Amino acid sequence: MNIHIFKNKKSLDEAVSRLLIEQVNKHPKSVLGLATGSTPLGIYKQLMDDHKRHKTSYQDVVTINLDEYVGLDKNSPASYQSFMKVNLFDALDINPKNTFIPDGETKDLDAACQAYDDIMKKHPIDIQLLGIGSNGHIGFNEPNTPFDSETHIIELALKTRTDNAVHFKSLDDVPTQAITMGIKSITNSKRILLVATGANKAQAVKGMIFGEIDPILPASVLQTHPNVDVFLDYQAASLILSSK
Ligand code: PGA
């Protein structure tokens, strides 16, 4: 794992977006694995600004998102479909047909999981952008998800629902289940960029880097991947800096 520590979020966002832009310029048919949540917002803003200023084209890029809530209307502002449209896709020249997000609304969730695995087999991910939950989850793979999991339905941990309640009217409105790429699906990516900011991620970050490789902390699996870059601000890095 290569660890990069930044003094502020802006310089971190610039560094990560530069890598993504370089990838797309060098390989216009890249497959990007994308994340939602607060963490990638600044990175997506940089991508949108760059597209406007330098015309980096996403016409042939394929994107595959990590996860989606189960049972939430796609058009709800809290859905990850809406998140991606508003915070990235609508401002790029990307073909909506090339943007994939798991279907959490369908009645046949098993078929939706299988369909998502098929999409990733057809479009292996070149670079996967990842956040980390305060409980160490990646995607919505909560603690104790098997490392060999593919796309599946997961019961969201109370910690995750509480962390994400800010995007809903109340905790009761946060869905209890999600459809998520599995841990194997994530580690199949050729390269992984994990981003963590803020003090509430410091414990999970320390476990991911120095802890045992154990499903109790899903992000610890990244120690086994040959091509992972971790981008941290000082707050998220605070416990690894103090343990040196
Ligand atoms: P956040 O979520 O970016 O909203 O902190 C990260 C995650 O849960 O993976």
Non-local CB neighbours of 175 within 8 Å, separated by 6+ positions:
69, 70, 71, 72, 104, 156
- Would strands 228-233 and 191-196 be described as parallel, antiparallel, or unpaired? parallel
Q: What does the pLDDT look like over 21-77, one tens digit per residue?
A: 999 999 999 999 999 999 999 999 999 999 999 999 999 999 999 999 999 999 999
> What fold characterizes domain 2-242?
Rossmann fold (3.40.50)
Q: Give me the pLDDT at residue 66, please.
A: 98
pLDDT digits (tens, 9 = 90+) for 170-226: 999 999 999 999 999 999 999 999 999 999 999 999 999 999 999 999 999 999 999
Does the CB atom of residue 131 touch ligand 1 within 6 A? yes
Grade residue 242 by pLDDT with cuts at 50, 70 and 90.
Answer: confident
Sign, CA torsion 207/184/129/126: positive
Sheet holding 152-155, edge to edge: 67-69, 177-180, 152-155
Token pair 């994939």: residue: 100
Q: Are 43 and 13 in contact (CB under 8 A)?
A: yes
50, 67, 103, 126: the active-site residue: 67
Q: Is the pLDDT of residue 244 over 60?
A: no
User: Would residue 212 show up in a list of annotated catalytic residues for this protein?
Assistant: no
User: Has 137 been annotated as catalytic?
Assistant: yes
3-class secondary-structure state, position 179: strand
How much is the average pLDDT of 218-240? 97
Q: What is the predicted pLDDT for the residue at 243?
A: 60
Which residue's alpha carbon is nearest to atom 8 within ligand 1? 133
pLDDT digits (tens, 9 = 90+) for 86-145: 999 999 999 999 999 999 999 999 999 999 999 999 999 999 999 999 999 999 999 999
Q: Which atom of ligand 1 is nearest to the CA of 197?
A: 5
Catalytic residue of the set 13, 51, 105, 135: 135
> Is the CB–ligand 1 distance for residue 42 below 6 Å?
no
Among protein residues, the one with the nearest Cα to ligand 1's atom 4 is: 37
Whether 139 is in the pocket of ligand 1, judged by its Cβ within 6 Å, is: no
pTM score of the predicted model? 0.96
Best residue among 138, 163, 235 to mutate for probing ligand 1, ranked by most atoms within 8 Å of CB: 163
- The answer to whether the CB of 38 is under 6 A from ligand 1 is yes
Mark whether 67 is an active-site residue. yes
The mean per-residue pLDDT over the stretch 148-163 comes to: 96
Q: In the chain, what are the domain boundaries?
A: 2-242
Residues 6+ apart with CB under 8 A from 195: 12, 16, 39, 40, 43, 129, 130, 131, 230, 231, 232
- State how far the Cα of 113 lies from the Cα of 132, in Å rounded to an integer: 22
Residue 230 CA to ligand 1 centre (angstroms):
14
How high is the pLDDT of residue 142?
Answer: 96
- Closest ligand 1 atom, residue 35 Cα: 9
